[in-house]
Amino acid sequence: MLIYVIIPLYILFSILIILKLLLDGLRPTKTLAWLLAIFTIPVGGILLYLVLGRNRRKNKFFDLKTSSLISDYLDQSSKSYAHFKAKILPDHLKFANLFYSNSSFEAVSGNIIKILNNGEETFDAIFEAIKQAEHFIHLEYYIFEEGQLSDELFMLFQQKVEQGVAVKILYDGVGSFSLSKKYIAKLKDIGVTIERFLPMRFGKFLSSVNYRNHRKIIVIDNRIAFTGGINVSDKYISGDPELGIWKDLHLKLEGPIVFQLQSVFAIDWYYASGDRTIFKTTQNLYLEYPEKHIAQLVHSGPDSDFFASMQLFFSLINSAKHYVYITNPYIIPNESILNALEVAALSGVDVRIVLSNNSDSNLVKWCVRSYFERLLQAGVKIFLITDGFIHSKTIAVDDALCSVGTANLDHRSFEQNYEVNVIIYDQTLCKELKEIFTKECSTAIQLEYSKFVNRPWSHKFKEATAKIFSPIL
């Protein structure tokens, strides 16, 4: 008799899911794919949709625009650096307006930005900045792994807490899943406040497991900040057995851009902890620097109204007149980015992509490679490095604009992850980034279309199979 109750309930639930799909405003191809999954995979199709398919822009975890607490905080924070509003060149004004419209942060001058070219250089700078902290240290990481780096951080935190410095750590519930209870307890014992972002709990598993906080942020006293691709993991300094040293770029930032990163941290911290006192950390503690680097923060996530990370890459690629140099480990582009790369290359722009010959995931590796033939045919130059694993997420355009951040060129970063990127309007730093890029190219393998198109049939089969999973990778 139970089956006569379960089947009607299942049919009713399926109808509700289908109605929601139709009303969510997804792309027609995506809607059709989910409808087919629901109709052809009993129970499993609905479960897959609940985990992977829900439109968080319709059903947000956290509505940033309607929260008066957050909007008041952002208004107060922006007033702290209002006098640093940058005078943008006319050619760059549309970018500044776009990024402000989708991220609410204006381009600001008076920054000092340093590119940190590897894990050792990055953590040396981070450790030195932490030693100088007087008020607070805020850390937010997708991956926080135990090892040599975490032990050194623990010792520094212990010293700073004893000196009266407040230390807060926010880590992602999936990315830092291996972080032990013992290490967390040790941090709490010395006075560090630590929180998980979207922890994997039974009641919220289906609604949250697919949405991760991929940001890497450190803010110290509102004076110094760090962001980029590097996580807290020993693989950036000692490597791992299969891939070797992980190569990555990070930024050290001083000036009003620090306030923008602090604002992102504060919102994430409030969401994870419910602690409203974080919004009081807006005191103007940074020094007023002379006019130097102009920068702007772009943040995005499933709670955003628009695909800000995707729009960032799309607009920069489309703007290029001479070159577009991209370093990214996970290039699984949607159709918009793919078309933008093709149009740029076919128009005579020097479009180059650097990534690793190997990957930390075979499925991702073959999915990434499934786009190579089409890109190479259009004239995009692809370089594969063999010494280590390149994890940087950078783009440089025409010695004029560049970006360093956490977002990959894939569906996950565009639609599902919380990301943050720094846009830099500075010729000197763009040239420095270009030099780092060309140095990687000089030791990499450049693919040739005529050879790649004749790759083994087994490779083509792996690529085609992996590409099926591109929307969830």
Distance CA 311, CA 378 (A): 22
Is pLDDT at 52 greater than 80 in this prediction?
no
Is pLDDT at 145 greater than 60 in this prediction?
yes
Is pLDDT at 303 greater than 90 in this prediction?
no
Of 442, 471, 400, nearest in space to 26 by CA:
471
Residue-wise pLDDT tens digits, 242-296: 899 999 999 999 999 999 999 999 999 999 999 998 988 655 545 565 668 999 9
Q: How confident is the model at residue 471 (pLDDT cuts 50, 70, 90)?
A: low
163: buried, middle or exposed (CB in 10 Å: 19+, 13-18, 0-12)? exposed
Looking at per-residue confidence, does 271 or 156 come out higher?
156
Residue-wise pLDDT tens digits, 206-229: 455 678 899 999 999 999 999 999
Is pLDDT at 98 greater than 60 in this prediction?
yes
The correct answer on CATH 3.30.870.10 for the domain covering 308-472 is: yes
Portion of the chain with pLDDT greater than 70, in percent: 81
Domain boundaries, the chain: 2-53, 68-299, 308-472
Range from 38-42, 246-250, 300-304 carrying the lowest mean pLDDT: 38-42
> Span 237-246, mean pLDDT?
90
> Span 75-84, mean pLDDT?
79
Range from 15-24, 157-166, 207-216 carrying the lowest mean pLDDT: 15-24
**Secondary structure of the chain as H, E, C letters:** CHHHHHHHHHHHHHHHHHHHHHHCCCCHHHHHHHHHHHHHCCCHHHHHHHHHHCCCCCCCCCCCCCCHHHHHHHHHHHHHCHHHECCCCHHHHHHHHHHHHHHCCCCEEEEEEEEECCHHHHHHHHHHHHHCCCCEEEEEECCECCCHHHHHHHHHHHHHHHCCCEEEEEEECCCCCCCCHHHHHHHHHCCCEEEEECCCCHHHHHHHCCCCECCCEEEECCCEEEEECCCECHHHCCCECCCECEECCEEEEECCHHHHHHHHHHHHHHHHHCCHHHHHCCCCCCCCCCCCEEEEEEEECCCCCCCHHHHHHHHHHHHCCCEEEEECCCEECCHHHHHHHHHHHHCCCEEEEEEECCCCCHHHHHHHHCCHHHHHHHCCEEEEECCCEECCCEEEECCCEEEEECCCEEHHHHHHCEEEEEEEECHHHHHHHHHHHHHHHHCCEECCHHHHCCCCHHHHHHHHHHHCCHHHC
Q: So what's the pLDDT on residue 1?
A: 58
Give, in words, the CATH class of 68-299.
alpha beta
Q: So what's the pLDDT on residue 180?
A: 95
> Span 352-378, mean pLDDT?
93
Any bridge partners for residue 246, and if so which?
A: 389
Q: How confident is the model at residue 349 (pLDDT cuts 50, 70, 90)?
A: very high
Of 313, 216, 306, nearest in space to 261 by CA:
216
> Span 411-420, mean pLDDT?
91
pLDDT mean across residues, the chain: 87
> Span 14-42, mean pLDDT?
62
Range from 89-93, 253-257, 384-388 carrying the lowest mean pLDDT: 89-93
> Are 68-299 and 308-472 equal in CATH topology?
yes
Q: So what's the pLDDT on residue 284?
A: 55
Is pLDDT at 329 greater than 70 in this prediction?
yes
Looking at per-residue confidence, does 412 or 189 come out higher?
189
Of 119, 325, 333, 109, nearest in space to 226 by CA:
119
Q: How confident is the model at residue 423 (pLDDT cuts 50, 70, 90)?
A: very high
Residue-wise pLDDT tens digits, 123-141: 999 999 999 999 999 999 9
Residues known to be catalytic: 214, 216, 221, 391, 393, 398
Q: So what's the pLDDT on residue 314?
A: 97
Portion of the chain with pLDDT greater than 90, in percent: 65
Is the pTM value of this prediction over 0.75?
A: yes
Q: So what's the pLDDT on residue 35?
A: 60
Q: So what's the pLDDT on residue 205?
A: 47
Q: How confident is the model at residue 309 (pLDDT cuts 50, 70, 90)?
A: very high
